[in-house]
A and B are shown apart, each in its own frame.
Chain A
Amino acid sequence: MTAGGGITVRELWWAAAGVALALAPHVTRLPPLLPLIFVALLAWRLLGAHGKVRLPDREHRLLWLATQVGAVALFVAIYARYQGELGRDAGVALLCGLIGLKLLEMKEPRDFYVACFLAYFLVVTNFFYSQSIPTAFYLLGVTVLVTTALVRFNSPAALGDLACLRLGARLVAESVPVMVLCFVLFPRLPGPLWGMPGADDSAVTGLSDQMEIGRIAHLGTSDEIAFRVAFEGERPRARDLYWRGPVLWNTDGRRWEAGSIAREGAAAVIPRGPRYRYEVLLEPHGERWLLGLDAVTAGDASVRSSRALELSARQPVRRRARYTLESATEYSLPDITPEERQAALALPPGAHPRTRELAARWRAAAANDREVIKRALARFAAAPYTYTLTPPLLDGDPIDQFLFDTEQGFCEHYAAAFVVLMRASGIPARVVTGYQGGEYNGVSDYMLVRQRDAHAWAEVHLPGEGWIRIDPTAAVAPERVSLGIGDLARRESALPMLDGDSPAYEVWRSARQLWDAANYEWSQWVLGYTPQRQRDLLARLGLDDMGAAELALALTGALGLAMGGLAVLLLRRRPTPGTPAVRAYAAFCARLARVGLVRAPHEGPLEFAERVAATRADLGVAAREIARLYTLLRYADAPAGLEALRQHVQSFRPGPPSS
């Protein structure tokens, strides 16, 4: 049964399946009506192909006209929906409408090809939304399906659908070597060719350059990945894993923010002890700051550093960023400007009266700054203060309320309260946000830091010592720093199945590590294959200093080799079954076939030998002898002469015809 024109129903189904599955991941991203329209168009086409409903042919003029009007209306609606802006979303919507209509009007072979090629294109548009491993493999399957539709269309009807599918999969599989070569060697052009899509593509998660009590509680349980770190040599101790983010100076009593303090200029870090070199792979967060192990001593040219040791990128991080840093976990940071001192002592007038009173009492009793700090930490470590991820709401003066009434909180509460206490006692202090801890992945040797590892701590400036990190949370809940928040959260959630020590939990944990390692390698080698990485890889292969022209040349050469290999594989003759004599004779016939003498199926060996002798006198003697030996071996009562036959065939090398 044909579906109109030269397209059969079976071919139509294959193409429809490919298109529909390529479109499926888009469904939630499209305006809700569009997928419904698409399904309706597809159903119409398929029912029409089966003869159940009428298709909009030109012969049914009214119906045809109606679909034309409908098509125009659809495109106008899409245009209006996206306000004429042809971005990624609008492009996909347009493609979806286009492909639905193309399937409906599909008639000629040309239409079938257009539909299949549009389906390939639809596959690509999916990658602009997600490049995860499952997406990649799903769409690889769809690619096989679309290829199968093409195979189905070009194969005789007698070839089964399964055979077509097998051939489609085989064609795709055989294309992989070329794909890999092109991927590795194709000259990579840095930067976009035209304007990048808007900022709509990366949801901002994680840290923020503001802090308001209660904001990080939400992150405390987020398993999302913040960044990964691969150390070149040794890893620092777990308790030194402070990943520095934005530094907050200004407060209105409740909110903390960076403020307008001058950031330009290098921070004078004096490293002590070992340095660590590492590469950070940062997930996109839509802001410009970067994270580094406290304290960063050196970094890539692309990484900028502020006076407060905050790292930032030139552009907001909208795709995975990769940069290399060097840090020392033991260091001193002595420098402070008068402006900074002023900012690090400022408190909103009239705020936190009870806290100020407490600080004044400590100040009066203490001999020096160190002692004030000790008292503050001792207060947090003492009984009523508890560390919790679900603290009560603070509706009055948050610092006073937290310090004297609720006495429950997490890192933000402690860091903010501590800094307020220090400033009230005349010690310059600031809040540092970032991440603390990280999970080491032994599979691929890197450290994984999740959003829930977000943390806040304090830094105070002491005369003669400089800026010193004080983590008041560590005083309240030392295990928050030593264990990491993940284990802590698990303890609090009290899920008996996923008890921290149970074997089930261990299995789950190692499976997750394995999966994350796969994701890491995926982003390292597939998604993050940048011009830089290409140069590194080529250098490792001993092909350094290759320009685009040399790369193209290498690519051509490698492609030639790959194709040669594939050709050998494809054109290899199947091993001839049968006895050694039959095989030897088959080899003889194959050699003759190559010079244009093909044995006809009805020709006996002797007859064939005579024909060979008649056409090519130079081969006559050998051919007759081989035919004689072969006939003897196969049909004589006492077969003999296999070795002779083999030798004759071995030395039988017909040259091209002399004429």
Chain B
Amino acid sequence: MDLLDRKRVYIFPSRAGAMFLGVIGLMLIGAINYDNALAYILAFLLVGLVFTAMLHTWRNLAGLALAEVEVEPVFAGAPARFKFRFVDGDQRPRHALRLRRLLKRRGAGWWRPLVDGTAECATLELPPGQVVMQVLTTRRGWLSLGRVELSSRYPLGILRAWAYLRQDARCLVYPAPTGALPLASGRAGAGGEGADGAGVDDFAGLRPYVAGDSLRSVHWKAAARGEALLVKQLRGGGGTRWLRWQDTATLGDVEAQLSQLAQWILMLDASGERYGVELPHLVLEPDAGPVQRARALRALALWPRA
């Protein structure tokens, strides 16, 4: 939980605000020169407006707290969707919020906004208090959000309040699933254990459900009878496929090889087959389902860069 208390919300006139102050100055000069009471009054009213707007702009951010930043892994090239979830102790509507990623200038002491990675939020609805920031991904691996600034100019636009959100959110970026190689027919497992490997074809029995099992293999009829969740175990006719590093060796480029493997994983996952992954110095035992898919893709994403 990251509460934006009063010490962490900064405020300063925006460019429009600087112009506004200039206008007030001109009005005051006119008021003094013509000794015009109502011109004084309007100038002072606008001075008051600056102060009032300052409080309103500041309170539009203050008291908000960042509860968490959620993000699902994505494939490179697709936008990573960082979901900022805010909670609000004061339960006030917050308007015209803006989230921006900032990047530290190399060698310089200041931050500049990144072109990529902004999110506008017209009004923060509480709950869910969620703002989604999309960040384009280009490379596999961890995408760190970096410094994020929450800002607002509501209600007059003459002042900008901002705060830096304390978070260390990062998104796992899988290699883009591309490639033209046909799926290798590596049926014989590296360990030769294809004989008892679970598959998708023949029913082999039931076992208790564990988190991560595919919902398609849950024995729903038994569940409907009120029994514990059971998972149908199938004995695949074809057994296990092995996705091997050397099968993609013809591509030559490490990134292309990883992309090809990712594509194969998606294909096999879609058909519900069991598969294992064999990379240099890393072997993933054959399995099927979302857990296996996530494990395999993660391994590809974090594979050391060339």
Contact = CB atoms under 8 A, between A and B. Distances in A.
Contacts of B32: 189, 192-193
Interface in B77-126: 87, 89-91, 95-96, 122-123
Contact of A128 (B39, B56, B67, B155): B39
A183 B56 CA distance: 23
Interface in A596-622: 596-601
B55 A192 contact: no
B48 A197 contact: no
B29 to A, nearest CB: 7
Contact of A559 (B41, B51, B87, B156): B51
Contacts of A156: 95-96, 122-123
B1 interface: yes
Interface string A131-166: 100011001000100010011011111110000000
Contact of B19 (A117, A559, A599): A117
A191 B35 CA distance: 7
A593 B27 contact: no
A571 interface: yes
B16 interface: yes
Contacts of A158: 122-123
Contacts of B156: 147, 150-151, 154, 171
Nearest to B49: A175
A154 B96 contact: yes
Interface in B152-179: 153-158
Interface string B1-33: 111010000000001100110010011011111
A394 interface: no
Contacts of A594: 3, 5, 89
A194 interface: yes
B44 interface: yes
B155 A155 contact: yes
B53 to A, nearest CB: 7
Contacts of A319: 35
Interface string B38-51: 11111111111101
Given A155-B95, A155-B154, A601 B35 contact: no
B182 interface: no
Interface stretch (A395-403, A428-436, A501-509, A562-570): A562-570
Nearest to B123: A156
B51 A178 contact: yes
Interface stretch (A72-80, A118-126, A282-290, A412-420): A118-126
Given A127-B38, A159-B123, 15 more contacts: A127-B42, A150-B155, A150-B156, A151-B155, A154-B153, A155-B155, A175-B46, A176-B48, A179-B44, A319-B35, A529-B37, A570-B59, A571-B63, A590-B89, A598-B87
Contacts of A197: 34
A593 B42 contact: no
A136 B49 contact: no
B33 A194 contact: yes
A553 interface: no
B95 A110 contact: no
* Of B15, B62, B91, B155, most A-chain CB atoms within 10 Å: B155
A127 B28 CA distance: 13
Given A120-B23, A154-B157, A194-B33, A159 B95 contact: yes
A589 B154 CA distance: 28
B65 interface: yes
Contacts of A262: none
A566 B90 contact: no
B154 A120 contact: no
B89 A131 contact: no
Given A113-B157, A589-B89, A570 B26 contact: no
B1 A597 contact: yes
Given A128-B39, A151-B155, A601-B127, A192 B34 contact: yes
Nearest to B24: A120
20 contacts: A113-B16, A117-B19, A124-B39, A124-B43, A128-B36, A131-B36, A131-B38, A136-B38, A136-B41, A155-B95, A156-B122, A171-B156, A174-B48, A177-B48, A178-B48, A192-B33, A192-B35, A526-B41, A598-B89, A600-B87
Interface string A201-231: 0000000000000000000000000000000
Given A131-B36, A155-B95, A155-B155, A571 B59 contact: yes
A547 to B, nearest CB: 18
B42 A120 contact: yes
Contacts of B158: 113, 150
Interface residues of A, number: 69
B52 interface: yes
A189 B20 CA distance: 23
Contacts of B62: 571
Contacts of B55: 563, 566-567, 570
A98 to B, nearest CB: 13
Contact of B26 (A121, A175, A196): A121
Contacts of A573: 90
Nearest to A528: B37
B55 to A, nearest CB: 5
A172 interface: yes
A153 B157 contact: yes
B157 A117 contact: no
A167 interface: yes
Contacts of A24: none
A563 B51 contact: yes
A13 interface: no
A179 B26 contact: no
Nearest to A178: B48
A175 B36 contact: no
B33 A193 contact: yes
A123 B36 CA distance: 13
A574 interface: yes
A123 B42 contact: yes
A139 B29 CA distance: 20
A36 interface: no
A80 B67 CA distance: 65
A366 interface: no
A156 B49 CA distance: 20
A381 interface: no
Given A159-B123, A601-B87, A179 B47 contact: yes
A114 interface: yes
A186 interface: yes
A171 B155 contact: yes
A114 B1 contact: no
A527 interface: yes
Contact of A124 (B30, B47, B123): B30
B21 to A, nearest CB: 10
Given A154-B156, A155-B95, A179 B38 contact: no
A182 interface: yes
A562 B52 CA distance: 10
A599 B1 CA distance: 9
Contacts of B127: 601
B1 A598 contact: yes
Nearest to A193: B33
A636 B43 CA distance: 61
Nearest to A571: B59
* Of B1, B38, B154, B157, most A-chain CB atoms within 10 Å: B38
Interface string A94-115: 0000000000000001100110
A448 to B, nearest CB: 21
* Of B42, B55, B153, most A-chain CB atoms within 10 Å: B42
Question: When A and B form their complex, which 7 residue pairs have the shortest distance between CB atoms, in order from nearest?
Answer: A175-B48, A156-B122, A178-B48, A593-B89, A182-B44, A127-B38, A113-B16
B37 to A, nearest CB: 5
Contacts of B31: 124
